[in-house]
Chains A and B, each alone.
Chain A
Amino acid sequence: MHLILFLAFGAVCVAGAVNLLVQRHPINSALSLVVVMGSLAAEYLLLGAEFVAAVQVIVYAGAVMVLFVFVIMLLNAGEEEPTKGSRVAMLFGIPGMLVGSLLIAWVLLQHSGNQSVAVGALPGPPKTIGWLLFHEYLLPFEATSVLVLIAIMGAVVLAASPESLGRKE
């Protein structure tokens, strides 16, 4: 049952990722990225990482992707037309990706043990993760708050129009 669920959500995940590459219009790519993130959240749930699954849906599929869709609609992004550079990149990129993924799969199959996980194998309930976050990882946690503050200020400064900042150009 676990294997069937894993394969089903994994197939949806890979199909979304491939669709992201195939689609020409950015809004279609963004929606297939939402599909990838949603099915990844299901994979996290299968591993027993409820906290990560919830954060994945709230932060990634919710906040980040809404930001992406807003920017795509704000800039009225149209279909991309392939250029000479992108054809050359496709010529080398797709065989390179196939070779790279085969290499990764081969190394993993050779060197990983035969250890398997059952449904919900991860021991941590969200309570334990919260405890870890506020005791052992308190300093990195506080550093991320500064990082987010800097990101907010940077986004406001970068996206503001030059006139509103009082620049003379």
Chain B
Amino acid sequence: MVPISYYLMLSGILFACGVTGFLIKRNIITIFMSIELMLNGVNLSFVAFAAEWKALSGQVFVFFVMVVAAAEAAVGLAIIIAVYRTRETLNVDQVNLLKL
């Protein structure tokens, strides 16, 4: 038997690691991976709450979050390729214009 709060704490740790990566990393691809890490932390808390309340809707919402994350990854990586093509860099400090 494992308390639900342990699962929630694990998801909080993963989310905090994602936020930190988002702040301290300068490579645009790594920043994007930190966002995926945050989404994973949230998914774990969805499943933990679904187990606490014996509700199935939490798992369905995890499915939707995964679909949105996959779509986001496809579009975001395409944007990264477009940015690299015009700027020749992946460092976010050197990317200061939205215009391509």
Which residues on A are within 8 Å of B, measured CB to CB?
A: 2-3, 6, 10, 13-14, 17-18, 20-21, 26, 29-30, 33, 36-37, 40, 43-44, 46-49, 51-52, 55-56, 59-60, 63-64, 67-68, 71-72, 74-75, 77, 80-83, 85-86, 89-90, 92-94, 96-97, 100-101, 104-105, 108-109, 112-118, 121-124, 128-129, 132-133, 137, 140, 144, 147-148, 150-152, 154-159, 161
Q: Do A49 and B85 form a contact, CB below 8 Å, given A80-B26, A86-B26, A117-B2?
A: no
A-B residue pairs in contact (CB < 8 Å), sample of 17: A14-B10, A21-B21, A30-B29, A33-B33, A47-B7, A77-B27, A92-B23, A101-B13, A104-B12, A116-B3, A117-B4, A122-B59, A129-B60, A132-B56, A150-B71, A154-B78, A158-B82
Task: Name the one of A14, A36, A159 contacting B78, with C-beta atoms under 8 angstroms.
Answer: A159
Instruction: List chain A residues, Cβ under 8 A from B20.
Output: 21, 93-94, 96-97
Which residues of B, 42-100, contact A by the 8 Å Cβ criterion?
Answer: 43-44, 47-48, 50-52, 54, 56-57, 59-60, 62-64, 66-75, 77-82, 84-85, 90-91, 93
Q: Name the residue of chain A whose CB is nearest to the CB of B68.
A: A147
